[in-house]
Structure formats: C-alpha cells, structure tokens
Structure 1
Amino acid sequence: MGPQAEVRKTGMILPANLPERSWEQIGTNLRELGNSSAWWLADWLRFGEAAYGWRRYKEAIERTGLDYQTLRNYAWVARRFDHHRRRDGLSFAHHAEVARLAPAEQDYWLRRAEQQKWSRNELRRTVRAGLAVQNGTAGLPAGGGDERPGAARPAGPGAAGQRCPQVTKLTIELSADQLEHLTEAAAAHGLPVDKWVTRLLETADRATADRKTADLTSA
C-alpha cells in the first residue's frame, strides 16, 4: 500500500511522496463527496419535514449550523427530482440550474449536459439562451441538433420593435414564518417565491377585471 493522505476534521495532510495519480483520485473523490452531500442533506431535510413536522424540521436545520436558505434550496431541488431522475454524471448544481423547468425540459437539458459534458456554467448559459428563443420559433441552442421535447418552451422577449411593459419593483415585508409558508407554497408549484407571488397578483388582477366586466354587463 502506497502513501496515504490523512484526513482530519480541520483539514487533510498529504504525504510528500504521494503519487500524482493518487492525488488526482483524491480530487475526484472529494468532488463526488461534495456533490453527494448536497443530495444527502436535501433528502435528510425532506424526511425530517415529512416525519417530524415543520417545527422539528427547523430545529434540525439550526443544529447543523448551516445556512438556512441554502438548505431550503437544497430541499427544493430534491423535491423537483425523484431519485430515478437524478443523473450520477452531473453535479447537484447542474440539477439546480434546471429545477424550475417542467420535468420534460429538465430531462432534455440534463441529457444534453451529460452528452456534451457541459460544466454547470455552460449549462446555465445554454439554458438561458434556449429560454430566450421567442415562442420556440428560432433554432435550437448551439451544441446539437436533436429535437426538443413536446413540452412548451417559455416565451422569450417580445418581438423586435414591440414596446416592453413598464416594470415596477414592489417590496413586501414578511415575518420569518410568513416567508417560510410562502416558500413552501411556491415550491409546491415548482416556482421561486417571487415568481409565485407575481402569478398570484396576475390572477387576482384578472379576477378583478372579470368582476368589473360582469358588473358593467349587469348594470
């Protein structure tokens, strides 16, 4: 047995005569461990929430000493991918990049990333380019010629010359408990909180307009 690295809680001691191949293998193992630990934490969090309830779940997060929102994001990504849909050849971060898309779109982009050996950043750039395609009328992103799945593509920016709607930034103050409940509700719809709240506001606006129309009709 050749020289071995010594692993401690506070670091790693590598022997001076460690072969280069062994050093490379250690790096590979560390990468896989880091990627797996994100999935492990995510599934652990999901189990705690389901088995012990929200209050015990929050306590468990606090006891890990890890960032609350980061762990919540881990759990959200894990909910978006059942175990059989997770790809061993890609990192947790790859899956997080496409987590908000529909399942068919997720599978498409992850398959492309695995085939093309994209890094997380390459996947992010290509997905963003694909989402910017206006109503699916332009060609596929560079890097392959296979067909997209049948799922509808998100609409891109408006046509050239079309006036963009004015955007107003709205700030809402929420308690910690309110934010937690909203995060859970948004995650159930596969959306981040801001997108989900925007959808609620749009639904409420349409309902108000419908009521006004009905009032005018009945007057």
Structure 2
Amino acid sequence: MGHAKTSARSSRLSAARLGSSRTHRPDSEAEPSKVVTLQTGLRIPTGLSFDEWELAGLRLSGIVNSSSWWLGDWLVYGKERYADRYQRGIATAGLQYQTLRNYAWVARRFPLHRRRAALSFQHHSEIASLPNEEQDMWLDQAELKNWTTRQLRNAVNAARQKMLPTSAAAASNSSPTLDLPGGDFDRWRQAAELSGTNLEQWVLSTLDHAAQRVLIEGEWTAVPSADSTSDRHGAWGLPGTAGADADT
C-alpha cells in the first residue's frame, strides 16, 4: 500500500514540468499546464496543483544552487586559459565580476570530487576559508544532521568561540589597537547581527576569511567608497554572502 501511494504521488509530481520560453512559442500558445520560465519571471498557470507547484520550486532551487557552481567553474576556467581576455567575456555575458569572484573562490576551494550534492553552494561557502580537513568534517556534520546554512554557521562560530579565550589571552600582550570610525563600527555590528553571531566573532571570522582569500587566490579588491557600503560584503567576498540566503 505504501508503495502504491508513493507511486501515485510520483506520477502526480512528474506531471509538473518546468518549461522554457526559449522555444519562442507565442504567449497565446504556451501550454497552460506548464510553469514557463521567462527572462523576467515565471508564467504560472492558474490551475497548478500544490504538488506541481512544489516540484517547480524544487527544480528552481536546484538550478539556482547549481548555477553558483557553474559560474564559479566558468570563471576559473576563463582566468586560467584566457588571462588577457576573460574580463571581456564577463562583460559580454553581462555578469558582475565581484559576484563571480566569490563563486570562483569557493569553486577553487572545493574541486568537483569534494563537493556535496546534498548540501547547497552556500554550505560550502560558509566554510571555504577553513583547511580541507575541517571543511570535510563540517560538511559531514551538516549532511548527517541536515543542517541549514544558518545552523552550520552557528555551529562553526560556536566552535571558534570556545577557542577564543586561549587565543585572546596569548595575544593580549602584543595585540595592536585600531582606531575605528563610528560608522564602520555600527555597520559591522549590524552585519554581525544579521549573520547570527556576536561582533567579536564576526570580525575574527571576516578577517580570517579575507586573509585566506589573499593567501590562496593572491587577489584583493580595493575597499569600496562610503557611497557603496550597501554592496560592501559582495565586493569583499565575506563569509556567507555569495548568493546567500540567510536561512537555507
């Protein structure tokens, strides 16, 4: 009986197909039973069942997640083989280089054989700055416990927090002090709150992530002007910002 119910549900789900406008079919001839992708949105039939709507969402989320890996691999390939022309390819494709750099950095940190299909690109992005052994350990935990991105981030932050007292005490006598503008401090505090962690841990995690990018990739993006603070995370490639959604 259980198998029959599963088969019936699978049959219903298989009826929900994600179509594409690339066939250039006139709007009036589009099949009403399909969810049709357009360049600026979706055309969803009024009679779509819940199962069909659910399956369409599943397929769309898979495309979004995979596209981050695809674009990252695409840029890595272009930079390696067309060092003098890859920027022209990016411009021709109408893509944002800073966002692509984030994708490419994560793609470099995780070769194909180390990527987990059961976890999102964002799961991998959260721990990309860690050594390979730690990456694998956290990916194992996230896969085993079915963690969301936020749960993985919180677990990593909690583990780092346990190490702070020892490392902070060892560095207390030699640590330099920084004079920070009030605006930066307030913005960092807001970013830490949005990331679900405290300010100190957010600063440490961000600096560690940035250091890893410079050491591994050998590149760094100039600090944006004060007028571009809304895109500061995207430009710097900070943890959890490459196509991030805060709770997936």
Asked if TM exceeds 0.5, the reply is yes
The structure 2 residue matched to 1:167, chosen from 177, 190, 202, is 177
Aligned length: 160
The structure 2 residue matched to 1:189, chosen from 213, 216, 221, is 216
Aligned to 1:119: 148
- Paired letter, 1:109: W
3-state SS of 2:87 partner = helix
Runs of 4+ that moved beyond 4 A: 185-188, 190-194
Distance 1:40 1:187 in 2: 23
Deviations 1:76-102 (A, max 9, x none): 110001101000011111101100000
The structure 2 residue matched to 1:42, chosen from 42, 67, 72, is 72
Distance 2:49 2:140 in 1: 35
Larger deviation, residues 90-99 vs 3-12: 3-12
8 Å CA contact 2:129–2:213 kept in 1: the answer is: no
Matched, 1:109 2:119: no
- Paired letter, 1:23: W
3-state SS of 1:99 partner = coil
Distance 2:150 2:174 in 1: 28
* Root mean square deviation of aligned Cα: 2.9
Distance 1:39 1:61 in 2: 16
Higher gyration radius (CA)? 1
The structure 1 residue matched to 2:61, chosen from 31, 39, 51, is 31
Distance 1:114 1:20 in 2: 28
Distance 2:218 2:156 in 1: 17
Q: Structure 2, unaligned stretches of length 5 or more?
A: 1-14, 17-32, 181-209, 222-248
Distance 1:56 1:192 in 2: 18
- Paired letter, 1:75: A
- Paired letter, 1:68: Y
- Paired letter, 1:133: K
- Paired letter, 2:216: H
Q: Structure 1, unaligned stretches of length 5 or more?
A: 136-154, 171-182, 195-219
- Paired letter, 2:85: R
Q: Percent identity?
A: 41
Distance 1:73 1:84 in 2: 20
Distance 1:44 1:25 in 2: 28
Aligned to 1:98: 127
Aligned to 2:95: 66
Matched, 1:10 2:37: no
- Paired letter, 2:155: T
In the TM superposition, residue 187 of structure 1 has moved relative to its aligned partner by 4.9
Q: 1:191 to 1:56 in 2, by over 3 A?
A: closer
3-state SS of 2:42 partner = strand
Q: Which protein has greater RCO, CA pairs closer than 8 Å, 6+ apart?
A: 2
Aligned to 2:162: 133
